[in-house]
């Protein structure tokens, strides 16, 4: 089964917890703190494997959770960092954040890697908090939470040539004749429900990859018919081969078919109209095909190369394949720029991310939330009094105490943070 779009949840590994411990060896005077740092959590990494051509592996497993880092140990020993979780994807894979729409990666070459979710750093052990004022701290951090996100993985085929046209114009038949591919061929519309790839070799030993793409109809750029399932795969092709039923066997006008398909391509992505396009007049073995071809040439305003062929009698195929190979030879592999994940840009007029926000529940409790304060709270070891006091000082330094007063908080009021409740004390 060909799978080219899936939604997946990924979770990078949390960092290991730091340790609060002390040296107690008999002959070590003033032993002091000895708690080591936790190890870093595992990243979630996507890596291109050229042996894959579908996203089938993600169809049945939709949740991926990487390992957390090892906790810190006594005698100042650092916890072990976790090895990254590497997920193999086929060439042509793009990854987007489902919630924000941000492009995270565009993977095209074998062995190329991209970190999709960063693992959390390890928490610091109490060695890190020793100072002249506090030579024996009982403070240790929990590991930083790893990034978790819902992502959309899409596959855009990496083919040199893309066959476009209405359903039942002969795209699959052409691919089966000029290559070893065996796509499904039948006498009804939308026989091709997924792209098929074939390697074509000309008589002079030049080769290229041809993609038979699902049939296109009017309104495809809005998702009608197979819609975006088709159009997504045409984006990376270097040459577009436009196949037309020149015999008009289904009663459609060939010139109107040609214009309709190009309008759909332009509506989906205007840059597609800048790609070299070759017109293939198919079914020339049928009656009236020659008359239709003459009329088509009269109506055509742009100078597109036209190649009359018949996939049944196999006439005209040799010249067509030579023309495609000649056209590809003039286009560098990277002539068509592949989309890149946009870089984050911070402009001066943009406000910085708010470290915390405060709302109220119906029962009158104050609710404290925000990415920065929540991460700080998760990294606090609530089992140790010194750690709790340190967290209180950090909140005060962030201005949370004053913000609660400004919102009307009084002594004894309840403050909620994640699943915990605190009492506000003046």
**Domain ranges across the chain:** 1-155, 161-329, 357-423
* Dihedral pair phi/psi, residue 234, rounded to 5°: -80, -15
Which pLDDT score is estimated for 2?
A: 54
171: annotated binding-site residue?
Answer: yes
In contact, 98 and 105? CB cutoff 8 Å:
no
Asked if the domains at 161-329 and 357-423 fall in one CATH topology, the answer is no
**Number of residues written out for the chain:** 426
413: annotated binding-site residue?
Answer: no
Which pLDDT score is estimated for 32?
A: 86
140: annotated binding-site residue?
Answer: no
pTM of the model: 0.69
377: annotated binding-site residue?
Answer: no
80 vs 69: CA distance, rounded Å? 6
Residue 62: count of CB within 10 angstroms of its CB: 12
Farthest CA pair distance, the chain: 104
394 vs 199: CA distance, rounded Å? 62
- DSSP classification of residue 405: H
328: annotated binding-site residue?
Answer: no
231 vs 214: CA distance, rounded Å? 9
190: annotated binding-site residue?
Answer: yes
424: annotated binding-site residue?
Answer: no
C-alpha dihedral over 375, 380, 382, 384, to 10 degrees? 180
Q: What is the DSSP string of 325-336?
A: HHHHHTS-TTSS
212: annotated binding-site residue?
Answer: yes
38: annotated binding-site residue?
Answer: no
285: annotated binding-site residue?
Answer: yes
Which letter, b or e, does each residue of 85-116 get, where b requires 16 or more Cβ atoms within 10 Å of its Cβ?
Answer: bebebbbbbbbbeeeeeeebbbbeeeeeebeb
Which pLDDT score is estimated for 279?
A: 92
Q: Helix, strand, coil: what percent of the chain each, to 5?
A: 25, 25, 55
Q: Which CATH architecture has domain 161-329?
A: 3-Layer(aba) Sandwich (3.40)
In contact, 215 and 231? CB cutoff 8 Å:
no
C-alpha dihedral over 348, 350, 355, 360, to 10 degrees? 150
How is residue 206 written in tokens? 């030049």
Which pLDDT score is estimated for 25?
A: 79
72: annotated binding-site residue?
Answer: no
310: annotated binding-site residue?
Answer: yes
252 vs 219: CA distance, rounded Å? 16
- Sheet of 103-107: strand order equals 63-65, 5-11, 148-155, 93-97, 103-107
Which pLDDT score is estimated for 215?
A: 57
Which residues are CB-contacts of 155 (< 8 A; sequence separation ≥ 6)? 3, 4, 5, 54, 55, 89, 90, 92, 93, 94
Q: pLDDT per position in the chain (426 positions), as tens? A: 456 679 999 999 999 999 999 988 777 777 789 999 999 999 999 999 988 877 888 888 899 999 999 999 988 899 999 999 999 998 888 899 998 888 898 888 889 999 999 999 999 999 999 988 888 899 999 999 999 999 999 887 767 888 888 887 888 888 888 886 564 444 434 444 456 777 888 888 888 888 887 655 444 444 444 444 556 667 778 898 999 988 888 778 889 888 888 888 888 788 888 888 999 998 898 888 898 899 988 888 888 899 999 888 889 999 999 999 999 888 876 544 444 444 333 333 444 567 889 999 999 899 999 888 999 999 998 888 899 899 999 999 999 999 999 988 888 889 999 888 888 887
Let me know if domain 1-155 sits in CATH 2.40.37.10: no
165: annotated binding-site residue?
Answer: yes
Which pLDDT score is estimated for 379?
A: 92
Which pLDDT score is estimated for 189?
A: 41
170: annotated binding-site residue?
Answer: yes
Which pLDDT score is estimated for 38?
A: 95
Query: CATH topology for 357-423?
Result: GMP Synthetase; Chain A, domain 3 (3.30.300)
131: annotated binding-site residue?
Answer: no
In contact, 385 and 396? CB cutoff 8 Å:
no
Give whole-number Cα distances, 319 to 41, 307, 326, 344, in Å: 58, 8, 10, 48
Which pLDDT score is estimated for 346?
A: 36
Residue of 48, 59, 60 whose CA lies nearest to 93: 48
Which pLDDT score is estimated for 122?
A: 95
Which pLDDT score is estimated for 187?
A: 46
Which pLDDT score is estimated for 289?
A: 87
């Amino acid at each position: 089964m060909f799978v080219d779009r899936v939604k997946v949840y990924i979770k990078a590994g949390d960092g290991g917890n730091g340790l609060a411990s002390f040296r107690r060896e008999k002959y070590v005077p003033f032993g002091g703190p000895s708690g080591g740092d936790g190890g870093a959590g595992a990243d979630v990494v996507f890596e291109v494997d050229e042996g894959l051509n579908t996203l089938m592996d993600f169809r049945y497993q939709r949740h991926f959770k990487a390992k957390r880092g090892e906790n810190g140990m006594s005698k100042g020993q650092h916890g072990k960092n976790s090895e990254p979780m590497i997920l193999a994807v086929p060439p042509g894979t793009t990854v987007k954040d489902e919630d924000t729409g941000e492009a995270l990666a565009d993977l095209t070459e074998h062995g190329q890697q991209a970190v999709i979710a960063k693992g959390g750093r390890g928490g610091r052990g109490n060695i890190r908090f020793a100072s002249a004022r506090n030579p024996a701290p009982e403070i240790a951090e929990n590991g930083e939470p790893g990034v978790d996100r819902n992502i959309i993985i899409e596959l855009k085929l990496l083919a040199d040539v893309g066959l476009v046209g209405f359903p039942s114009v002969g795209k699959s038949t052409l691919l089966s004749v000029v290559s070893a591919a065996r796509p499904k061929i039948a006498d009804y519309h939308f026989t091709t429900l997924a792209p098929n790839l074939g390697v074509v070799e000309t008589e002079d030993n030049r080769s290229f990859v041809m993609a038979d793409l699902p049939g296109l109809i009017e309104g495809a750029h809005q998702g009608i018919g197979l819609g975006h399932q088709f159009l997504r795969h045409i984006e990376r092709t270097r040459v577009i081969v436009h196949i037309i039923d020149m015999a008009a066997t289904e009663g459609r006008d060939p010139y109107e078919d040609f214009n309709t398909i190009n309008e759909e391509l332009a509506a989906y992505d205007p840059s597609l109209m800048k790609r070299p396009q070759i017109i293939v007049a198919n079914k020339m073995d049928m009656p009236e095909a020659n008359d239709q071809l003459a009329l088509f040439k009269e109506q055509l305003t742009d100078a597109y190369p036209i190649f009359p062929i018949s996939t049944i009698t196999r006439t005209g195929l040799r010249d067509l394949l030579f023309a495609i190979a000649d056209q590809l030879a003039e286009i560098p592999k990277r002539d068509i720029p592949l989309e890149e994940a946009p870089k984050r840009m911070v402009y001066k007029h943009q406000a910085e991310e708010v470290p915390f926000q405060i709302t109220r529940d119906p029962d009158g409790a104050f609710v404290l939330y925000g990415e920065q304060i929540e991460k700080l709270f998760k990294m606090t070891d609530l089992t140790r009094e010194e750690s709790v006091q340190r967290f209180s000082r950090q909140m005060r330094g962030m201005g949370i105490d004053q913000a609660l007063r400004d919102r009307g908080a009084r002594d004894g009021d309840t403050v909620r943070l994640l699943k915990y409740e605190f009492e506000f004390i003046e």
